[in-house]
């Protein structure tokens, strides 16, 4: 996968846009031949359907796939480079074949593969998975023996891989990666997490631990906060329990972005409230109800924080958006 730093980083493709008889050929042409260099053979061609979200950045191409059961083959004719690919956490049982190895993998397991060799992956049933490709030269300094890691299953409970899968979800958000600097930083963190997942050692492990694992945990912390904003007991301690780290470590994660944990939570709650106030779906909800659902338990504190952050009161924001005042 290649991309200019100025290109939009994300695009979507779905077989739903094609007549049933055209879906397989369209998928092969658009996704298999131009994105992931794999031919496919669905178990039931008559019911083939698949969707892909593709993120292309310099040094990293990521595809999120939701598909029916199928076999994906990397044939000799499709070998274009010596990049490495990573199959991350399919939601079904799957089989891989490369480098004389034929492992049977359980749902959630991952694997490093070599684009310079023939190979195949078979999904036993309908599934979702994430796959990405990266230059071999990017990972080689971090892992002492890459060839030994090819086609070796990585357990679903591998901490670095779990962080990697969570971190990659950030690639779906085009706005989050809209500058070359952010893209470069995200790519570096992915390299680090892959290295940790397959077994980086020595100095390389310390580097990867410092950059990639910390970034992955910060991403996971933010995702957990977004899901739990309405909780009145949301704190560094509850986030720490979710991540299996200490509360002090959670505070340190946010300090790397030059803000405190509480500042981040308040900003997220204010953003949630603002979004609700300007959305017609919530016209029937009182401002006090919106404040509570965003996680505030003190209406006066909410009103002061909101005005300080947005330069207008909640009522003014709702009125400016053309919503009736509650």
Whether this prediction's pTM lies above 0.75 is answered by no
| 278-to-118, 192, 266, 306, 325 alpha-carbon distances in Å | 53, 40, 18, 14, 11
Q: What is the CATH number of domain 228-326?
A: 1.10.10.60
DSSP string, 197-255: HHT--HHHHHHHIIIIIHHHHHHHHHHHHHHTTT-TT-SHHHHHHHHTS-HHHHHHHHH
User: Which single residue is written with the structure tokens 């957990």?
Assistant: 224
pLDDT at residue number 143: 83
In CATH terms, the fold of domain 10-225 is: Jelly Rolls (2.60.120)
Phi and psi torsions of 184, nearest 5°: -60, -40
pLDDT at residue number 325: 46
pLDDT at residue number 5: 40
pLDDT at residue number 15: 93
CB 166 within 8 A of CB 175: no
Could you tell me the residue ranges of all domains in the chain? Answer: 10-225, 228-326
Question: How many beta carbons lie within 10 A of that of residue 19, not counting itself?
Answer: 8
pLDDT at residue number 216: 74
CB 13 within 8 A of CB 31: yes
Output the tens digit of pLDDT for each of the chain's 326 residues: 333 444 546 788 999 999 988 999 998 888 776 677 888 999 988 889 999 988 888 898 888 999 999 999 999 988 889 999 999 999 999 999 999 999 999 999 999 999 999 999 999 999 999 999 999 998 887 887 889 999 999 999 998 888 888 888 766 665 556 667 667 778 888 888 898 888 866 555 555 666 656 777 888 888 889 889 999 899 999 999 988 888 988 888 888 777 899 999 999 999 999 999 998 888 889 999 999 999 999 999 999 999 999 999 999 999 887 644 44
pLDDT at residue number 186: 80
Read off the tokens for 65.
């796939």
pLDDT at residue number 83: 93
**HSE value, Cβ hemisphere, 13 Å, CA-based, for 25:** 5
């Amino acid at each position: 996968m290649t991309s200019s730093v100025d290109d939009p980083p994300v695009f979507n493709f779905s077989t739903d846009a094609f007549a049933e008889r055209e879906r397989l050929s369209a998928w092969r042409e658009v996704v298999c031949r131009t994105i992931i260099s794999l031919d496919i053979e669905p178990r039931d061609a008559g019911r083939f359907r698949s969707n892909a979200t593709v993120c292309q950045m310099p040094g990293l191409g990521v595809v999120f796939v939701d598909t029916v059961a199928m076999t994906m083959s990397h044939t000799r004719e499709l070998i274009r480079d010596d990049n490495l690919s990573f199959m991350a956490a399919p939601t079904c049982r799957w089989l891989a074949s490369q480098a004389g190895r034929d492992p049977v993998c359980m749902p959630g397991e991952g694997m490093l593969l070599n684009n310079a060799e023939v190979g195949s992956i078979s999904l036993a049933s309908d599934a979702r998975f994430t796959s990405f490709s990266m230059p071999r030269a990017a990972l080689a300094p971090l892992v002492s023996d890459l060839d030994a890691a090819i086609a070796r299953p990585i357990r679903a409970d591998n901490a670095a891989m779990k962080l990697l899968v969570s971190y990659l979800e950030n690639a779906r958000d085009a706005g989050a990666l809209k500058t070359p600097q952010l893209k470069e930083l995200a790519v570096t963190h992915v390299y680090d997490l892959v290295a940790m997942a397959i077994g980086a050692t020595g100095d390389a492990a310390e580097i990867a631990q410092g950059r990639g694992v910390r970034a992955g945990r910060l991403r996971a912390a933010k995702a957990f906060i977004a899901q739990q904003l309405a909780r009145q007991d949301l704190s560094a301690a509850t986030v720490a329990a979710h991540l299996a780290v200490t509360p002090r470590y959670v505070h340190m994660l946010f300090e790397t972005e030059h803000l405190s944990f509480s500042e981040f939570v308040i900003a997220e709650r204010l953003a949630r409230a603002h979004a609700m106030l300007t959305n017609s779906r919530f016209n029937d909800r009182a401002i006090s109800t919106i404040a509570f659902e965003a996680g505030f338990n003190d209406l006066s504190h909410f009103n002061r924080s909101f005005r300080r952050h947005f330069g207008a009161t909640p009522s003014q924001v709702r009125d400016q958006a053309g919503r009736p005042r509650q």
